[in-house]
Amino acid sequence: MEKTIYYHDTDAGGVVYYANYLKYLEEARTLFMNEKGISVKELHQEGFMYAVRKCSITYRQPARYGDVIECRTGLIKLTAAQIFFDQKIFDKKSGDLLIEAEVVLVSLDKDFKASPIPDPIRDRLSKT
């Protein structure tokens, strides 16, 4: 996923505000799921939700106003109810690594209880 950094993404120092990277990671994960044929909206309508259980980020370099970044998402592993993602954000022009993140989602039912990942979702995520 590519994204241009706008003024509203930055802080007083002219660099991307650290919490905004969480939004970029979310957008990239949603796109990853869509590319696997998984609609997060449809899952929610069927009573399944996926919440962030853990997020570990290493900030290497800042992105700045006007930069174009590239967000890459990969699947590390699946457990009964969790999805582990490896995510990286790069500066498109220089190729420099800006952010590294491991994000863990947990599958929840309509009562917000941990729930096994449905087999159709597991199958789609497992396809390369």
In which element (H, E) is residue 46 found? none
Q: Is 14 left (phi over 0), alpha (psi -120 to 50) or beta?
A: left
Chain position carrying tokens 């993140």: 101
- For residue 15, the 8-state DSSP code is B
Taking CA atoms, 103 is separated from 8, 28, 67, 73, 87, in Å, by 25, 12, 24, 10, 7
SS3 121: helix
Catalytic residue IDs: 11
User: What is the identity of the amino acid at 75?
Assistant: L
